[in-house]
């Protein structure tokens, strides 16, 4: 941390700053410039100290030099994290596709979808049992019944399953049935929920909040990592901007940025980012071309009969077509779709 003093700052103001730094058990290092005196702070800095220094007389600004996250940073942990779940490796050389309906509606619907997406190359099955909905009058999911269907269909099709957990007191229940716990965008800063999923030993997929900076997203991951759960998968799903043609704006740049500053795997969710099914394939291809480790895609047997988010779901034909286009993109990035190797294992 660096404290820049005002041009007009007096010696006693400088002393007061250095004293406050030392009160926090840190060392201050004064450097006189022509215009500004600059004070470097050595040691681990907490937000409280920065806040306190900003208020002292004579201080122009306080600049943070170190990143506030540690466990999520590549500097701290240079090697890529690969999350393994029932034989599927997320963050390695293979591109992983997680697919399924937004909401689980019935065993028939989920089974049919699972068979189709698996045949097309998906290796993880997704499906919502607890649904966050903007309006209290919308369908909110089948709850535990949905979880049971999900676990059964996943087992039958030998696919690990992922589903959302919405509150701390649901964590044990959801963890009983799911292989990967999903934290939704609206809960990215639900810190108590982050603590709770951190205490499980299950992989966690952490969606980026609609208005979260990349730094806030990594600090949210830090909550989970700080509980000794190292299996965190990030998921870019669009941020809120002024553009109204899409529900959100997929921030494709976040993918190579995360790859640079963090060791955690990152996948993309073009279904929620765009909100429109015909934009899902081009954005899926774009994010894999940009370096994403995988995709989360909504697929429904009859999107126009879906109980939730029909307009952004692919039908089976569109999904198969997407998977066929995805393969050469993966190869162009020197990677391959998981299914290609998985097939050889069985």
The distance of closest approach from Cβ of residue 101 to its own copies in the complex, given in angstroms and rounded to an integer, is 13
CA distance 287 to 322: 13
CA distance 321 to 281: 9
**Which residue from 42, 145, 201, 317 is in contact with its own copies, where contact means CB under 8 A?**
42
Examine residue 83 and tell whether it contacts its own copies (CB under 8 A).
Answer: no
Which CB atom, from 115 or from 227, has the smaller least distance to its own copies?
227
Examine residue 15 and tell whether it contacts its own copies (CB under 8 A).
Answer: no
Q: Which of 218, 118, 232, 141 is nearest to 182 (CA)?
A: 232
Examine residue 286 and tell whether it contacts its own copies (CB under 8 A).
Answer: yes
Among 88-96, 118-126, 174-182, 308-316, which window interacts with its own copies (CB under 8 A)?
308-316
CA distance 29 to 104: 59
Which CB atom, from 55 or from 79, has the smaller least distance to its own copies?
55
Residues between 160 and 179 with contacts to its own copies, criterion CB under 8 A: 166-170
251 phi-psi bin (left φ>0, alpha ψ -120 to 50, beta other): beta
Burial class (CB in 10 A: 0-12, 13-18, 19+), 278: exposed
Residues between 44 and 63 with contacts to its own copies, criterion CB under 8 A: 46-48, 51-52, 54-56, 60-61, 63
The distance of closest approach from Cβ of residue 189 to its own copies in the complex, given in angstroms and rounded to an integer, is 4
Print the binding letters for residues 191-220 with its own copies: x by CB under 8 A, - otherwise: xxx---------------xxx-xxxx--x-
The distance of closest approach from Cβ of residue 263 to its own copies in the complex, given in angstroms and rounded to an integer, is 17
Examine residue 143 and tell whether it contacts its own copies (CB under 8 A).
Answer: no
Examine residue 342 and tell whether it contacts its own copies (CB under 8 A).
Answer: no
The distance of closest approach from Cβ of residue 242 to its own copies in the complex, given in angstroms and rounded to an integer, is 5
Question: Could you give the 3-state DSSP secondary structure of residue 67?
Answer: coil
Q: Which of 68, 83, 92, 81 is nearest to 223 (CA)?
A: 68
Per DSSP, 249 falls in state: B
**Which residue from 10, 19, 93, 133 is in contact with its own copies, where contact means CB under 8 A?**
133
CA distance 137 to 11: 63
Q: What is the DSSP string of 1-15?
A: -EEEEPTT--HHHHH
Examine residue 303 and tell whether it contacts its own copies (CB under 8 A).
Answer: yes
**Which residue from 15, 31, 106, 145 is in contact with its own copies, where contact means CB under 8 A?**
31
**Which residue from 125, 162, 233, 283 is in contact with its own copies, where contact means CB under 8 A?**
283
Examine residue 249 and tell whether it contacts its own copies (CB under 8 A).
Answer: yes
Residues between 253 and 272 with contacts to its own copies, criterion CB under 8 A: 253-257, 260
Q: Which of 224, 227, 246, 228 is nearest to 237 (CA)?
A: 246
- Segment holding 84, helix H or strand E: strand 83-85
The distance of closest approach from Cβ of residue 158 to its own copies in the complex, given in angstroms and rounded to an integer, is 29
Which CB atom, from 12 or from 304, has the smaller least distance to its own copies?
304
**Which residue from 86, 310, 320, 340 is in contact with its own copies, where contact means CB under 8 A?**
310
The distance of closest approach from Cβ of residue 194 to its own copies in the complex, given in angstroms and rounded to an integer, is 8
Q: CB within 8 A of 159, min separation 6: which ones?
A: 114, 118, 122, 123, 124, 125
Among 79-87, 111-119, 148-156, 235-243, which window interacts with its own copies (CB under 8 A)?
235-243
The distance of closest approach from Cβ of residue 106 to its own copies in the complex, given in angstroms and rounded to an integer, is 15
CB of 232 closer than 8 Å to CB of 194: no
Rg (CA), the chain: 23
Q: What is the DSSP string of 25-65?
A: T-EEEEEE-SS-EEEEEESPPPHHHHHHHHHSTTEEEEE--
Residues between 88 and 127 with contacts to its own copies, criterion CB under 8 A: none
Q: CB within 8 A of 115, min separation 6: which ones?
A: 157
């Amino acid at each position: 941390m660096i404290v820049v003093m005002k041009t007009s700052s007096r010696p006693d103001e400088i002393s007061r700053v250095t004293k406050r730094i030392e009160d926090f058990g840190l060392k201050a290092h004064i450097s006189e410039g022509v215009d500004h005196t600059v004070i470097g702070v050595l040691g681990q800095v907490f937000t409280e100290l920065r806040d306190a220094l900003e208020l002292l007389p004579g201080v122009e600004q306080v600049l943070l030099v170190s990143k506030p996250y540690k466990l999520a940073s590549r500097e701290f942990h240079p090697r890529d994290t690969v999350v393994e779940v029932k034989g599927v490796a997320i963050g390695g050389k293979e591109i992983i596709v997680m697919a399924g309906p937004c909401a689980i509606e019935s065993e028939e619907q989920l089974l049919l979808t699972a068979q189709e997406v698996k045949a097309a190359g998906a290796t993880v099955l997704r499906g919502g049992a607890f649904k966050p909905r903007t309006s209290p009058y919308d369908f909110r999911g089948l709850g535990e019944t949905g979880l049971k269907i999900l676990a059964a269909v996943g087992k039958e099709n030998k696919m690990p399953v992922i589903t959302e957990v919405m509150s701390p007191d649901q964590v044990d229940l959801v963890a009983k049935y799911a292989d990967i716990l999903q934290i939704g965008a609206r809960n990215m800063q639900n810190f108590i929920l982050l603590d709770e999923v951190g205490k499980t030993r299950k992989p966690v997929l952490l969606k980026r909040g609609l208005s979260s900076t990349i730094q806030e997203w990594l600090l949210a991951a830090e909550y989970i990592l700080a509980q000794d759960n190292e299996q965190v998968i990030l998921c870019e799903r669009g941020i809120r901007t002024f553009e109204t043609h899409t529900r959100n704006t997929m921030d494709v740049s976040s993918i190579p940025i995360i790859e640079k500053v963090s060791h955690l795997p990152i996948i993309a969710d073009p279904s929620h980012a765009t909100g429109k099914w015909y934009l899902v394939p081009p954005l899926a291809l774009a994010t894999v071309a940009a370096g994403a480790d995988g995709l989360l895609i909504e697929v429904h047997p009859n999107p126009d009969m879906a109980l939730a988010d029909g307009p952004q779901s692919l039908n089976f034909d569109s999904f198969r077509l997407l998977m066929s286009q995805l393969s050469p993109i993966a190869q162009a990035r020197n990677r391959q779709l998981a299914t290609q190797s998985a097939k050889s294992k069985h």
